A and B are shown apart, each in its own frame.
Chain A
Amino acid sequence: MKDTRFKISSIAILVILAALWLMPVYAMLNTSIKTQEEVANQEYLRFPRKFAIQNYLKAFKALKTGLINSAVITIPATFLCVFLGSMAGYFLTMFEFKPSQLIFFWIVVASFLPYQIVLIPITQLISSLRLLNTYAGLILIYVILNIPISTLITATFFMKMPVALQEAAALDGCKPFTFYIKILVPVSIPGLISAAILVFVQIYNEFLLAISLTRGPKIKPVMPILAELKGSQIAQWNIQMAGAVIVSLFPLAIFIFLSEYFISGMMAGYGKE
């Protein structure tokens, strides 16, 4: 059968391509646990003869403060974005309000613009609030910039809620805020998780504002620190790769264990599905 042949050949193509797509990360993991001598041999795909765990200790030592800073900034910023954004998403989808569409349009536009467009005013704003090089400054700016996308994602999920749910609640005398907290939030946990994942990964991976609004290592998030590791002389490829692995562990873990949420957040945020 022609169909079977097509099926087999397409699976073969996919296997080869998947192997190619995985190879960089395989090589990265492999190199990250090799000793300097073995790295110098350049047989990057060969499994290491000796495990050099000290690479990870060295990289972790360099990245530790950055990781803590990233956690301190990203977690509250994500929480605020999802909380405030979902309230707006609730309003825009479930209230009778004429300008909703117009507001929604400006939210969509704002959520896609590159940060360079507002980089100078952001720096001015944060420095005039005396928040340069503080956690509060970065959290504030990340919340402002990510509320739109979180509104967008949560609104997409709320639209799928049956209107009857809200009607029934209203007839029972349920006030909007009670409805939001007691009914809407519990039934839309998957949507909120999706929004949280997207916003979290976006803030954690962000680089431009992280370098522009911090000075010195005290407050700096982990991405700029990883970038500095690349420029420094001490870092050989194996240490750099170990650093890249450490930094990626968290987003990759989210991707692997919560991939359905990751994808549905991505589709709702970027795909308008």
Chain B
Amino acid sequence: MKYNKAYGFIFLTPVVLAVGIIYMMIFWNLVASLTQWQGMKATWQFAGLQNYFDLISLRRFWVNVKNNFLWLFFFIIPTTLLGFILAYLFTNLGRIEKVFRQFFLYPMALAFIVTGTLWSWMYDPSSGLINSLLRAVGFDTTRLGWIANPNGAIFCMIFSAFWQYVGFSLVIYLGAIRGLSYSMIEAANIDGAGHIRILFQIIFPNVGHGTLICTTMLAITTMKVFDLVWIMTGGGPGIKTEVLPYMMYRITYSQHNIGMGASTSIVILILAAAMVIPYSLWALKKWVRE
């Protein structure tokens, strides 16, 4: 027996209000993106898709899109892969697993602003930790600019996020691997399969839901790296490390081009929704089945 719904609407009201406001704001944003709104005062002059045409004619926009895809590719794959391999190695640890897990997971508690401050120092060409260590062992570091190198900066930034998020994929895969039956791995072991084969041909195909959770969550994270860009490079050198969420902020608050800022956020919405909606449908199914 379950309670009748009539009792309970009061329980639901706050969250429905909050979610309703969020979706109304998204709709409002969509309308704003179709207007010629410049400067602080709202001018609801309809401009059709003009902002979107202006946006896609900007070279800066495409640099940003490219950078977002660099993030997707070079952040998600290494983070997922290392987390997965670590989780497999962790199965040997026995009781000290919980202690070891902390060493990889603690960066998840740090703010992007803290990670960014820390890694800005690590990467600093003249007084940073990495170059100072390299110099100490006799390397010539004059050409290693790291975060100041126009072509390398974005990868440096991605690496710091990788450092922060490996623990996340580790934990996801620890859970997924624990759910597998031991006999399956044991049987493969007896058959004489090597560890790499066990890892990729036997375990990997059976932790698909872990991989889905991991890659989706990391993909969504790449849409939130605004803080890291802000603190580490400010989008520079030039616009080499800018990503769409950063450009959106700049267009809106530095150039006061609200209409175009709104249309950039709609582009972000489309990219994010393409990841979030299929994932949520999947999660919901799993939720209902239980």
Contacts and interface: CB of A to CB of B under 8 A. Distances in A.
B220 A112 contact: yes
B29 A114 contact: no
Contacts of A180: 11
Contact of A207 (B11, B122, B230, B261): B230
Contacts of B90: 14
A241 B195 CA distance: 41
Contacts of A256: 102, 106
Contacts of A22: 103
B11 A91 contact: yes
A113 interface: yes
B2 interface: yes
A266 B111 contact: no
B261 A144 contact: no
A201 interface: yes
A117 interface: yes
A18 interface: yes
B84 interface: no
Interface string A65-105: 00000000000000000001101101110111100010111
Interface stretch (B57-65, B145-153, B262-270): B262-270
Nearest to B271: A114
A136 interface: no
Contacts of A88: 11-12, 14-16
B8 A117 contact: no
B268 A237 contact: no
Contacts of B166: 21
B282 to A, nearest CB: 8
Contact of B2 (A94, A103, A108): A94
Contacts of A270: 168, 213, 217
A44 interface: yes
Contacts of B154: none
Nearest to A143: B18
A96 B2 CA distance: 6
Interface in A95-128: 95-97, 101, 103-110, 112-122, 124-125
Contact of A244 (B4, B14, B114, B230): B114
Contacts of B104: 17-18, 21
A84 B25 CA distance: 21
A107 B106 CA distance: 28
Given A24-B118, A252-B106, A272 B287 contact: yes
A45 B134 CA distance: 13
A252 B195 contact: no
A161 interface: no
Contacts, number: 282
B245 interface: yes
A117 B262 CA distance: 8
B203 interface: no
A106 B19 contact: yes
B70 interface: no
B26 A118 contact: yes
A188 interface: no
Contact of B171 (A21, A144, A252, A266): A266
A205 B3 contact: no
Contacts of B133: 44-45
A194 to B, nearest CB: 14
Contacts of B187: none
B280 interface: yes
Contact of B103 (A18, A43, A163, A205): A18
Given A91-B11, A176-B7, A121 B269 contact: no
Contacts of A266: 108, 168, 171
Contacts of A167: 1
A108 B284 contact: yes
B155 to A, nearest CB: 17
Nearest to A171: B1
A90 B249 contact: no
Given A28-B118, A95-B3, A112 B272 contact: yes
A27 B122 CA distance: 9
Interface in B103-134: 103-114, 117-122, 127, 129, 132-133
A7 interface: yes
A180 B11 CA distance: 10
Given A90-B8, A121-B32, 5 more contacts: A14-B93, A42-B127, A104-B287, A145-B18, A205-B111
Closest 6 pairs (CB-CB, A-B): A205-B111, A88-B15, A121-B25, A255-B109, A91-B11, A84-B14
